[in-house]
Amino acid sequence: MASLLYRLGKTAYRRWPVVLVAWLLALGGVATVASTMSQPMTDQFSIPGIPSETATELQQELFPGSGSAIDEASVTIVVAAPEGDTLADEPYAGRVTTLVDELGSVPQMPDDPLAGPVQASAAMEEQIVGAAVQRAQQSGGDVAAARAAAEADAAAISPLSADGRVGTIDFAFDVDTPTDVDAATHDAVEEVMEDARGDGLQVEAYGAGIDGGPGGGEEGVPTAELIGIGIALVVLAFTFGSLVAAGLPILTAGIGVALGVTGFTAMTAFVELDSSTPLLATMIGLGVGIDYALFILARYRTELDHTDDREEAIGIAVGTAGSAVVFAGLTVVIALAALSLTGIPFLAAMGWGAAGTVIIAVLVALTLVPAVLGILKSRAFGLRFRRHEPRRDEAGKVVNGGVRWARLVGRAPLAFAALVVVALGALAIPASTMHLAFPSDSTAPSDTTQRKAADLVNESFGEGRLAPMLTVIDGRDVAAEDRPAAYQEVVAWAGGHDGVDHAQLGGMNEDGTGALMLITPAHGPDDTATEDLLHDLRTTQSEIEQTTGTTIGITGLTAIQADVSERIADVLPAYLAVVIGLAFLILMLVFRSILVPLTATLGFLLSVMATLGATVAVFQEGTFGLFEGQPIVSFIPIFLIGLVFGLAMDYQVFLVTRIREAHVHGASYREAVVDGFRNSARVVTAAALIMISVFGGFMFMPDPILQSMGFALAAAVAFDAFVVRMCLIPALMYLMGERAWWLPRWLDRILPDIDVEGENLDRPHLDGDRERDAQPVQA
């Protein structure tokens, strides 16, 4: 492989006009398709096969025209009078009436007219109680009992609190999904709400129609990216001491990301893509694109110390560092593409999208970077503000911080290894209390209108109002005259469960073959007690189904999100096995060793557990007061495992290939470790700092999902790059000695020789190094 990439690098350097035109044509062609043929991206948050999805399908079968709770752009505006007053008092009643009237003129509003909470509550109670009393009178039942039950049902769903102080105005925008709500509509609602505030009336809002969907919006993402790019530019400038060299990786990575994101838009002309696909692709593509270009450029500068032939230097750089880039990129692609094993469409789409940008980043590093160097020639390291003049020992070898650190670790490798294991193990302890859930309005930042509205609802109506469960009852196998009694029996069954605040029949379809039941839990959507209640209901539903002859399905936003969390937890072991297994085989090919891939994998597990522990401590438990305590987003662990495994293997490949390269060219195991750090430690450090900057920029976002994801990924890179790869791995390499490269003979014969280290390349300066390294042995 090294020989093939060596020729590719030289060709790209020499024929840079052809390469540059090819990339520009590719970008232009994709942009043309994207601008002329693209279709809107979808936002389907459904997962085939989960119980709540099956229940939704049953609901749509019995109640044609009904949609999924996840696709409803619902909005709840909460109005609250001051303590001691009610919404029926003036001036609050007048302000609420004006609010309702002005909401009717907001774009994308439904056709049905809205009503204030006082009027809606009275009308609702009259309708529910009147219908119940009429049924009791017609059937000869207990009218008083029917009235009492109906009044309880009305109170459970009333838009007005018991004391009359807090009320809700509920509606759903006339759109297909929450992401279809225009920004102008959001602005208009906020303006109407602001106009209604005054005289002590509090007006807040929550719901998917305000949030932008289950995952929240992506506002501020460009700002987060710019923060990461700015820090990356500083790191690159200090790494190379040149402004031109600092800008080159960012330029080429930007071209790669632009091509990838534009490609997603163009692909919508042929296939449906989830709207979440570009977010992760941008985050990962930018990070690895800068890193891969950095490794090629750093190796190119190193080779210029040994030759004045720039074309030869870039050939050697692409042949050696480029081989590492290929296999590092391959591990990242495996980790991301394997997200499709979850069976969760939006995770699979994000994984494949990000994998595509990684492939583009690899191609950019192997072809576009050499082409740009061919354009710049001697100006590649221009605009210097610090001259690169490293110290050298008596043998002419560079002595830098990497060499000094490697020798320090080599003095007490066992102590360093033990310290790393103990420290990361201690950080992992909080992970044992991790609570996975989706973010809700109750866990939004306390200064947002969503959180203020949720707090008002929790205080005035109970926490369960924000976690309703919709139960579909299929009575087609029940005799028509027995169906009402069967439905009521199901309601009584649900209401008898611990943790249910209220259960009531919501209505039947026209022919009476189906009914809807609303279950109001006693706890909120992010409470483990609500998850336990859902599990208990489903565990016991077969008994009531057999008793009544009905078929039951529980759905609603709370149930859907709980099912997604459970599905992710169920597929996690299989995902880990596939990713780690395939990556282990790749690393065994690269290093021709059993122990080196094994230590790389164990180090990754340590860094992931420490990262999960730190994320739980900071986000769930609110340690240091940086973030308000809330559950960890359900898909963070699987994303973390996939992405960090790929990135961790990046640093493993870049660092240890230099160690193996020195070993293959005759260095002892101790000198090989030192030589690997001599040539790679500084660059790996810069690459890790860049990745931390790109990910850490998302911590400044208002969205808790992006905040926690940015923190977790930044912390994982820091732990893995600086603690595991820089401390644990060299310590273990010292302890294993020559045994690190042990490979059974039968396996050595089977594995293909891919020559990642460039052993077959003509590199005269290494002969001198081998002779100097061999002198003490001969003596």
Distances (CA, A) of 283 to 10, 641, 695: 30, 16, 7
pLDDT digits (tens, 9 = 90+) for 530-553: 999 999 999 999 999 999 999 999
pLDDT band at residue 41 under the 50/70/90 scheme: low
pLDDT digits (tens, 9 = 90+) for 199-217: 999 999 998 888 754 444 4
The predicted structure's pLDDT at residue 693: 82
pLDDT band at residue 760 under the 50/70/90 scheme: low
Whether 205 and 454 have beta carbons less than 8 Å apart is answered as: no
Cα Rg, the chain, nearest whole Å: 31
pLDDT digits (tens, 9 = 90+) for 697-730: 777 776 777 788 888 888 998 999 999 999 999 9
Whether the pLDDT of residue 526 is over 90: the answer is no
pLDDT digits (tens, 9 = 90+) for 53-81: 899 889 999 998 777 777 788 899 999 99
Q: Which residue has the tokens 């209640």?
A: 533
Q: Give dist(CA 306, CA 616) in Å, integer.
A: 49
Residue 156 lies in a domain: no
Which carries the bigger pLDDT value, residue 734 or residue 271? Answer: 734
The predicted structure's pLDDT at residue 173: 92
Cβ burial 64-85 (10 Å sphere, 16+ → b, else e): eebebbbbbbbbbbbbbbeeeb
Strand intervals (E) in 436-589: 436-437, 469-474, 500-508, 514-521, 551-555
Residue 741 lies in a domain: yes
Q: Give dist(CA 559, CA 557) in Å, integer.
A: 6
The predicted structure's pLDDT at residue 384: 83
Cα pseudo-dihedral 426, 430, 431, 435, rounded to 10 = 180
What's the average model confidence in pLDDT over 300-308? Answer: 84
Q: Give dist(CA 52, CA 610) in Å, integer.
A: 34
Residue 585 lies in a domain: yes
What's the average model confidence in pLDDT over 385-409? Answer: 77
Stated as kind and residue range, the H or E segment containing 205 is strand 202-206
Residue type, 586: I
Q: Give dist(CA 195, CA 186) in Å, integer.
A: 14
Beta-strand pair 551-555/632-633:
unpaired
DSSP letter at 515 equals E
The predicted structure's pLDDT at residue 75: 93
Whether 12 and 367 have beta carbons less than 8 Å apart is answered as: yes
Residue type, 431: A
Q: Give dist(CA 409, CA 648) in Å, integer.
A: 20
Beta bridge partners of 282: none
End-to-end Cα separation, the chain, in angstroms: 37
Q: What are phi and psi of 378, to 5 degrees?
A: -75, -10
What SS3 state is found at 332?
helix
Whether 114 and 104 have beta carbons less than 8 Å apart is answered as: yes
Q: Give dist(CA 406, CA 395) in Å, integer.
A: 18
Write down the mean pLDDT value for the chain: 85
Identify whether 468 is preceded by a cis peptide bond (ω within 30 of 0): no
The predicted structure's pLDDT at residue 320: 83
What SS3 state is found at 500?
strand
Q: Give dist(CA 217, CA 223) in Å, integer.
A: 14
Count CA atoms closer than 13 A to 241's CA, side-chain side.
9
Residue 544 lies in a domain: no
Tokens at 39, concatenated: 């279709």
The predicted structure's pLDDT at residue 216: 44
Distances (CA, A) of 87 to 206, 414, 429, 594: 19, 71, 49, 73
What's the average model confidence in pLDDT over 256-264? Answer: 86
CA angle 425, 428, 434 (to 5 degrees): 160
What's the average model confidence in pLDDT over 84-107? Answer: 93
Stated as kind and residue range, the H or E segment containing 244 is helix 243-267
Whether 1 and 323 have beta carbons less than 8 Å apart is answered as: yes
pLDDT digits (tens, 9 = 90+) for 151-166: 998 999 999 999 999 9
CB-based contacts of 477: which residues, under 8 Å, 6+ apart? 549, 550, 551
What's the average model confidence in pLDDT over 486-496? Answer: 93
The predicted structure's pLDDT at residue 759: 57
CB-based contacts of 94: which residues, under 8 Å, 6+ apart? none
Residue 383 lies in a domain: yes
Q: What are phi and psi of 627, to 5 degrees?
A: -135, 150
The predicted structure's pLDDT at residue 217: 45
Whether the pLDDT of residue 297 is over 60: the answer is yes
pLDDT digits (tens, 9 = 90+) for 611-642: 999 999 998 888 877 777 778 888 888 878 87
Whether the pLDDT of residue 764 is over 80: the answer is no
Residue 357 lies in a domain: yes
pLDDT band at residue 224 under the 50/70/90 scheme: low
The predicted structure's pLDDT at residue 66: 79
What CATH number does the domain containing 352 carry? 1.20.1640.10
Least confident of 187-201, 311-325, 705-719, 758-772: 758-772
Residue 521 lies in a domain: no
CB-based contacts of 344: which residues, under 8 Å, 6+ apart? 47, 564, 567, 568, 635
Stated as kind and residue range, the H or E segment containing 189 is helix 183-196
pLDDT band at residue 232 under the 50/70/90 scheme: confident
Total domain count, the chain: 1
Whether the pLDDT of residue 763 is over 70: the answer is no
Residue 503 lies in a domain: no
What's the average model confidence in pLDDT over 678-685? Answer: 84
pLDDT digits (tens, 9 = 90+) for 567-608: 888 888 888 888 888 878 888 887 888 998 899 888 888 998
pLDDT digits (tens, 9 = 90+) for 121-175: 999 999 999 988 888 888 788 889 888 988 998 999 999 999 999 999 999 999 8
pLDDT band at residue 270 under the 50/70/90 scheme: confident
Q: Give dist(CA 300, CA 311) in Å, integer.
A: 10
Which carries the bigger pLDDT value, residue 377 or residue 758? Answer: 377
Q: Give dist(CA 109, CA 681) in Å, integer.
A: 58
What's the average model confidence in pLDDT over 690-699? Answer: 80
Surface-to-core class of residue 427, CB atoms within 10 Å of its CB (0-12 exposed, 13-18 middle, 19+ buried): buried
Whether the pLDDT of residue 427 is over 60: the answer is yes
The predicted structure's pLDDT at residue 706: 75
Whether 445 and 628 have beta carbons less than 8 Å apart is answered as: yes
Backbone conformation region of residue 108, classed left if phi is above 0, alpha if psi is from -120 to 50, else beta? left
Q: What percent of the chain has pLDDT over 70?
A: 92
Q: How many residues does the chain have?
A: 779
Range of the domain at 741: 2-37+216-388+412-438+562-778
pLDDT band at residue 218 under the 50/70/90 scheme: very low
DSSP string, 626-682: SS---PEETTHHHHHHHHHHHHHHHHHHHHHHHHHHHHHTT--HHHHHHHHHHHHHH
pLDDT band at residue 475 under the 50/70/90 scheme: very high
Whether 303 and 13 have beta carbons less than 8 Å apart is answered as: no
Helix ranges (H only) for 16-64 are: 16-37, 51-62
Q: Give dist(CA 152, CA 238) in Å, integer.
A: 69
pTM value is: 0.79
